[in-house]
Each structure stands twice: as structure tokens, then as C-alpha cells.
Amino acid sequence: MTDKKPICQLTRKWPSRVEKAMGDKCELLINDEDKSLHREALAAALCSSDILCPTVTDSISAEVFALAEERGVRTKLLANFGVGFNHIDIEHASRLGIAVTNTPGVLTDATAEISMALLLMCARRTGEGERLVRSGAWDGWRPTHMLSTQVTGKTLGIIGMGRIGLAMAKKAHHGFGMQIIYSSRSALEGSLAEGISAIRCELSELLQKSDFVSLHCPSTPETKHLIDREALTTMGSHAFLINTARGEVIDEAALASALREGEIAGAGLDVYQNEPSINTALLNLENLVLLPHMGSGTNETREAMGMCAFDNIKAYLNGAELPNRVV
Ligand code: DGY
């Protein structure tokens, strides 16, 4: 009678091992089309499921909550598949008594790997090189061909020294002998900083001193367009910008113009302001590497993210404290 399983709606397909494990505990509804749900569908899901599991592509905005409220909200837990939760209006969720959880920790190394890959790609012009070879236009080795920027020993400025920023700092320092400077709300504890001798500084100093600037801060009202025209001008024509955090942190129009005019040397982006649309001004720039938001996209990590979300769900079902509660 009371052993009915709770209804749990996944807005996308999840790794199959995770779906299978969840199916034992919940009545699992899966969006088999695996396309982003529009706001009416999200509002309907808030009214029909006990647990809703969104991803970064689902904007659970005040508007979506308001639509759901008109019909009666059923959801008690939003178990997000991902660490960033800027796509969820968490204050609104909290007002409605809905708990929100995320999946920190498990995607740290995978995301730092993509940051490092972007850094290497734009410094060493590997995207351009690959395009050249595939086009059939490569006419052979010569001493002055496709010269690029050496990475080893350069200065990396990290904006946002959380888990992913620190993992990036370690890979860059231990793997490539890079000097690390950072700006962050809080200072690294001594023992963490010592391994990489990271020096904390103000944003303007970081922008001036860095050969590479890598963004690892969350998207908040304070970080919106943190990298604007002025910041790009401060970086200078030798410097590269890497973003695996959130698109909103960069003013994309200003970035396109700075890349076009050679005001900075290059950039590598994995995230964009209006995904999956890309500002067309960015598309044809040779000194820009573009990836499709794949920072956490390894088999190991996506499965771990799903299992982490499932741990939050199991805790909720057992009436226990939620391990990764955001609100
Ligand atoms: C994250 O976990 O925040 C990734 O960007 C995917 O959403």
C-alpha cells in the first residue's frame, strides 16, 4: 500500500549503470528524446514528480516555478546532475520548500584536464594545425612555420581557487613548471598553497601578470562579465584566456573584438553565455579554440556524477541529511 516508489524524473538520459541503480529505488521517468525540456515541460515535471533531476540545460527559473505553482508543485527534491546550479532559481526553490543538491568533487580532475587541454591547444595552435593538415594545404616542415607560444615556465592566473581551480593549478605547476597566481574569495590553506607556491593577488594584478588566465569561478551576479573590455585590455597582447566555468563570466562581444584586434593572443572556451548557440562573432577566429561544454565529459566522471546525485536522492528517501545540499 505505502510501498509505492517515489516518482523520479530525469530530464535527460543518464549513464545506464546509474539509471539501473536508480530504477531499484524509484519509479524512473526518463526523457528518452534526450533533448532540453522547454519551460512548460519543466513546470509539468515539477507538478508530477517527487524528485526532479535537471542538468545545466534546464532553466528552472522563477517563471517555471510560477507556472508550476499555478497547478500545484509536487517535487520535494531537485537533484541536479552537475556542480554548477546557476540554472536553478534556488531562492524560489527554497521558498517552496524544495531542497536542491549538486554533485561537487567528482568532476574536479576531468574539468581541470579540459582546462589544461584548452590552454595547450590555444598556446600551441593545435586546432589550427589540425585544420591545416585535414584541409590538404600543409606543404611541409620549415623553421618558421606555425610558430606558437611555449607553455612551460609561464605564469598562470587562476580566477576562483575552488576544487577545480586548485586541480588546474597542480597540473600546470607540476606538469609544466608554471608559476601560479590566483584571485579568489578565500585564501588557500597554507598546506594546499605550499605544494604549488601559489600567490594570491587582486584581480587587476593577476590580469597584468598572467600569461594565461583560467576561469574557475561560479556564475553569480558578481561574476557576470567579470572579463569585460577593460579586463581584456589589462591582460595584454601576449596573454591567453581559458574558460571552463560558465559563459556568463565573459563579455563575449568584447572577447571577439579583443581576439580580432590582437588585444589578447588567444582564448579557449568550453562554455558560452547562450548554449548551445554561439555568438557568431566567435566562430571564425583562428586564435580561438571552441569546445562543446565537455569539461566533465568522461565515462568515469559522468557515471560518478550520476552516482553522486543518486546518493543525494537516497539520503532524501531515508530522511537523512543531504550530502550535497545547496539550499
Ligand atoms: C557542471 O557540473 O556544472 C558542468 O558544467 C555540467 O553542468
Residues 91 and 229 in one domain: no
Q: Is residue 236 part of a domain?
A: yes
Residues 224 and 133 in one domain: yes
Angle, helices 108-124 vs 126-135, to 10°: value is 60
CA angle 281, 286, 292 (to 5 degrees): 70
The residue whose CA has the least distance to atom 2 of ligand 1 is 82
pLDDT of residue 27: 98
Q: Is residue 323 part of a domain?
A: no
Q: Is residue 30 part of a domain?
A: yes
Pocket lined around ligand 1, Cβ cut-off 6 Å = 56, 82-84, 107, 295-296
Residues 19 and 138 in one domain: no
* pLDDT tens digits, 212-249: 999 999 999 999 999 999 999 999 999 999 999 999 99
For cell 537516497, the residue is 314
Residues 162 and 274 in one domain: yes
Residues 93 and 208 in one domain: no
Q: Is residue 2 part of a domain?
A: no
Which atom number of ligand 1 is nearest to the Cα of residue 83?
A: 2
Q: Is residue 29 part of a domain?
A: yes
Q: Which of 144, 139, 146, 145 is nearest to 123 (CA)?
A: 146
In testing the pocket of ligand 1, which one of 113, 163, 296 has its CB within 8 Å of the most ligand atoms? 296
Q: How large is the average pLDDT for residues 136-142?
A: 98
Largest CA distance in the chain: 78
Please report the sign of the dihedral spanned by the C-alpha atoms of residue 246, residue 247, residue 251, residue 254: positive
Confidence check: pLDDT of 301 > 60: yes
Residues 113 and 92 in one domain: no
Q: Is residue 87 part of a domain?
A: yes
Residues 47 and 14 in one domain: yes
**Active site (catalytic) residues:** 246, 275, 293
Lowest-pLDDT range of 82-86, 122-126, 132-136, 185-189? 185-189
Residues 82 and 132 in one domain: no
Q: How far apart are CA 162 and CA 271, in angstroms?
A: 18
Burial annotation 197-209 (CB, 10 A radius, 16+ → b, else e):
ebebbebeebbeb
Interval between CA 82 and ligand 1 midpoint (Å): 4
Interval between CA 58 and ligand 1 midpoint (Å): 12
Confidence check: pLDDT of 121 > 80: yes
CB 86 within 8 A of CB 60: no
pLDDT of residue 2: 56
Percent of the chain surpassing pLDDT 70: 99
Look up the pTM and report it.
0.97
Helix (H) or strand (E) holding 308: helix 299-317
Residues 125 and 231 in one domain: yes
Mean pLDDT of the chain: 97
* pLDDT tens digits, 255-295: 999 999 999 999 999 999 999 999 999 999 999 999 999 99
The residue whose CA has the least distance to atom 3 of ligand 1 is 84
Q: How far apart are CA 79 and CA 311, in angstroms?
A: 10
* pLDDT tens digits, 146-189: 999 999 999 999 999 999 999 999 999 999 999 999 999 999 98
Q: How far apart are CA 73 and CA 93, in angstroms?
A: 11
Cis peptide before 15 (omega within 30 of 0): no
Q: Is residue 1 part of a domain?
A: no
Q: Is residue 153 part of a domain?
A: yes
The structural domain count of the chain equals 2
Domain containing 16 equals 7-106+299-317
Give the rounded distance of the alpha carbon of 141 from its chain centre: 37
Confidence check: pLDDT of 191 > 80: no
CATH code: domain of residue 219: 3.40.50.720
Interval between CA 227 and ligand 1 midpoint (Å): 20
Residues 36 and 174 in one domain: no
Residues 241 and 312 in one domain: no
Residues 131 and 80 in one domain: no
* pLDDT tens digits, 58-73: 999 999 999 999 999 9
Instruction: Give Cβ neighbours of residue 289 (< 8 Å, ≥ 6 apart).
Output: 118, 121, 122, 127, 266, 267, 268, 269
Confidence check: pLDDT of 192 > 80: no
Confidence check: pLDDT of 1 > 70: no
Q: How large is the average pLDDT for residues 74-103?
A: 98
